[in-house]
């Protein structure tokens, strides 16, 4: 891996059709490549609306196989621009078995690997447990927290709700990830007041910066932006807050987006991991002899 990696997080509002989305992504990837980016991170479920606002069996029609049409499209883009693209798809694995899956297209256009979201949220407006089976713990080629090897390095790709779990970031780091990547779709309930909205966004920024810090790794976060109404007229919809960001190995901001469509670009010094891990050597001192209870649900009394 070269010492310097230019990264682009492509943040945008939902487009009116899959064709329009592909046009948007083609342009955004081309523009980012012109700026020197070799790693492009797309937002969660970028192909269309965030359909999990309601539970609707017809939405399973949106799912697709992997490899499939979207990995073909993204692979062609990646090869054309000699970059790595991290996409986020609604995967149909079998009848009645769907995942929220990140895909990694390598610089030669091949599918370098994929990651099936391991932690699945479910709360009003984010009914993901209805749609997505959590990724397998083991037993399949894509199980667990495995980084994906590419021409530009080993990518620790996680998805959205995973961002709240230090365990996920740590396991990627222990498996050799050189950068942590989060496609995400998070926004506000319009009924929350401004102070609560601010606390939520700050918490979301802080927890992801903390994964950079705890693991001495850069972090790339790509979030949706814009308002999406709910199909349920009684619900208020979601204001996706954007605020994609790229942080260095001490959690320092390298680039931060606001709430508008943005190709957020930053230059990451990949060699800083080696330096930071020498002087703040957390991996040296982990108490692996005392961590067994991390595999327990709760330590009941």
Which positions lie near a second copy, rule CB under 8 A? Answer: 118-121, 123, 134, 137-138, 143-145, 161, 164-168, 170-171, 174-176, 199-200, 202-203, 206-207, 209-210, 213-214, 250-252, 279-283, 285-299, 301
What's the DSSP call for residue 43?
P
Q: In this complex, which beta carbon is closest to a second copy, that of residue 95 or of residue 279? A: 279
Question: Nearest distance from residue 249's CB to a second copy, in Å?
Answer: 9
Q: In this complex, which beta carbon is closest to a second copy, that of residue 28 or of residue 221? A: 221
What sign does the CA torsion over 69, 38, 140, 215 have?
Answer: negative
Residue count (the chain): 301
Q: In this complex, which beta carbon is closest to a second copy, that of residue 22 or of residue 197? A: 197
Strand order of the β-sheet with 245-247 is 148-150, 153-157, 179-184, 219-223, 245-247, 253-256
Question: Nearest distance from residue 199's CB to a second copy, in Å?
Answer: 5
CA distance 78 to 75: 5
Active site residue ranges = 44, 117, 160
Could you tell me if 105 and 202 are in contact, meaning their C-beta atoms sit under 8 angstroms apart? Answer: no
In what helix (H) or strand (E) does residue 214 lie, and over which residues does it extend? Answer: helix 194-215
| Widest pairwise Cα distance in the chain | 59
In 3D space, the residue among 162, 56, 54 whose CA is nearest the CA of residue 101 turns out to be 162
- Which residues are CB-contacts of 82 (< 8 A; sequence separation ≥ 6)? 33, 38, 107
Question: Nearest distance from residue 229's CB to a second copy, in Å?
Answer: 22
Q: In this complex, which beta carbon is closest to a second copy, that of residue 166 or of residue 261? A: 166
Q: In this complex, which beta carbon is closest to a second copy, that of residue 77 or of residue 266? A: 266
3-state helix, strand, coil in the chain (%, to 5): 35, 30, 40
Question: Nearest distance from residue 40's CB to a second copy, in Å?
Answer: 26
């Amino acid at each position: 891996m070269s010492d310097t990696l230019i990264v682009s997080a492509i943040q945008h509002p939902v487009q009116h059709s899959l064709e329009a989305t592909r046009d948007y992504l083609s342009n955004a990837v081309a523009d980012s490549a012109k700026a020197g980016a070799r790693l492009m991170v797309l937002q969660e479920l970028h192909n269309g609306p965030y359909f999990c606002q309601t539970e609707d069996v017809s939405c399973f029609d949106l799912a697709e196989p992997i490899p499939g049409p979207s990995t073909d499209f993204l692979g062609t883009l990646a090869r054309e621009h000699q970059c790595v693209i991290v996409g986020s798809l609604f995967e149909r694995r079998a009848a009645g078995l769907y995942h929220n899956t990140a895909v990694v297209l390598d610089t030669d256009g091949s599918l370098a690997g994929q990651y099936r979201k391991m932690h699945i949220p479910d709360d009003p407006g984010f009914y993901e447990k209805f749609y997505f089976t959590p990724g397998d713990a083991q037993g399949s080629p894509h199980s667990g927290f495995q980084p994906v090897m590419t021409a530009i390095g080993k990518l620790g790709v996680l998805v959205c709700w995973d961002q709240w779990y230090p365990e996920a970031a740590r396991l990627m780091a222990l498996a050799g990830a050189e950068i942590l990547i989060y496609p995400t779709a998070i926004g506000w309930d319009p009924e929350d007041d401004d102070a609560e909205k601010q606390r939520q966004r700050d918490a979301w920024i802080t927890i992801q910066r903390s994964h950079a810090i705890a693991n001495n790794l850069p972090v790339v976060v790509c979030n949706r932006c814009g308002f999406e109404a709910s199909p349920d007229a009684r619900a208020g919809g979601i204001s996706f807050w954007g605020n994609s960001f790229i942080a260095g190995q001490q959690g320092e901001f390298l680039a931060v987006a606001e709430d508008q469509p943005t190709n957020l670009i930053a230059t990451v010094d990949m060699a800083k991991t080696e330096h930071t891990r020498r002087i703040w050597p957390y991996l040296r001192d982990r108490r692996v002899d005392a961590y067994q209870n991390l595999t327990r649900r709760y330590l009941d009394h």
